[in-house]
Amino acid sequence: MSVKPLVLTIVLLCLAIPGRAQKPESQPGYVPIEELGLFPRDKLEVEINLDGPVLHMVSAMTRKDDPGFSAVMDGLKSIQVQVFPVKGTDTAALKTRIDRAVHWLEGHGWKSTVRVREQGQETYIYLKQTGDQIEGLTLLSLDPKDEAVVINIVGRIDPAELGRLGQSLHVPQLKNVPEGKKKPE
């Protein structure tokens, strides 16, 4: 690629960025999952924090090869994910913290749209609306035999599109990755 088009691209991106640079914390659909203290951070299996400017660039980068994915990303202002492996931990304490998070959501105007409890597994999906627009989605789930997951997505959300995208992707498996840090002797 010659320098000029590259320079133009960067300038355009820079112009685009300020409009998206609103802090995610100020968005109605944002949930401060770190503050909710659901899981110990040093034991997380997965932790993802992506904000608006980055998601906009992700959308731009994938527009040609994956327009469906790009379109979903285009409307988003932040994605937060925490995954905590549950095996061997106190699931009762975990359930209590999840209940507390559910109460927090309900106390902050989030509406429950999914509550599934089956065979010990629990899944909650809450939506935050402003008028007729969904501005936030929060998913909480606990599978006592596997993992607990919290996902908060902020932005222009179409839950059906999100669901279709999610169903088309798979979480890669890591085989028998050893457990976390041991203290040095």
Partner 1 sequence: MARPHDALACEEALDLLEPYLDGDLPAGEMDRVRRHLEACPACAAELALAARIQRELRALPQPDCPPEVIERVRRAGRGEVVPFPVRERVPRRRIAAAAALVALAIGGGSLFVHIQHVQQQQEQVAQATREARLAMAYFGKVTRKAGLDVRDEVLEKRLVAPVARSVSRSLGNTDGAEPRKEL
Partner 2 sequence: MLTAFEDTAQRYQRRVYSFARYLLSSREEAEDVTQEVLLRLWRHRQGVDEERLGSWLLRVTRNACYDLLRKRRSESAAGLAPGFDDEAEEVATSEPDPRSRAEATDFRRRLLAALAEIGEPYKSVVILREVQGLPHREIGEALGIPEVTVRVHLHRGRKRLREILKEDVPHGETA
Residues at the site binding partner 1, with contacts judged by CB under 8 A: 3, 6-7, 10-11, 13-14, 17, 21, 46, 48-51, 53-55, 57-58, 61-62, 69, 72-73, 79, 81, 83, 111, 113-114, 116, 118, 121, 123, 125, 127, 129, 132-134, 139, 141, 143, 149, 151, 153, 157-160, 162-171
Residue 66, interface with partner 2 (CB under 8 A)? no
51, interface contact from partner 2, partner 1, none, CB < 5-8 Å by kind: partner 1
Nearer to partner 2, 64 or 181 (CB): 181
Cα–Cα–Cα angle for 7, 11, 13, nearest 5°?
115
Residue type, 20: R
Give the one residue of 46, 61, 114, 116 binding partner 2; rule: CB under 8 A.
46
Give the one residue of 45, 61, 100, 104 binding partner 2; rule: CB under 8 A.
45
Nearer to partner 1, 21 or 37 (CB): 21
Instruction: Give the E-state strand segments of 26-132 in sequence order.
Output: 46-51, 76-85, 111-118, 121-130
CB atoms within 10 A of CB 179: 9
12, interface contact from partner 1, partner 2, none, CB < 5-8 Å by kind: none
Sign of CA dihedral 108, 154, 120, 91: negative
| SS (HEC) of 47-59 | EEEEEHHHHHHHH
User: d(Cα 181, Cα 122) in Å, to the nearest integer?
Assistant: 29
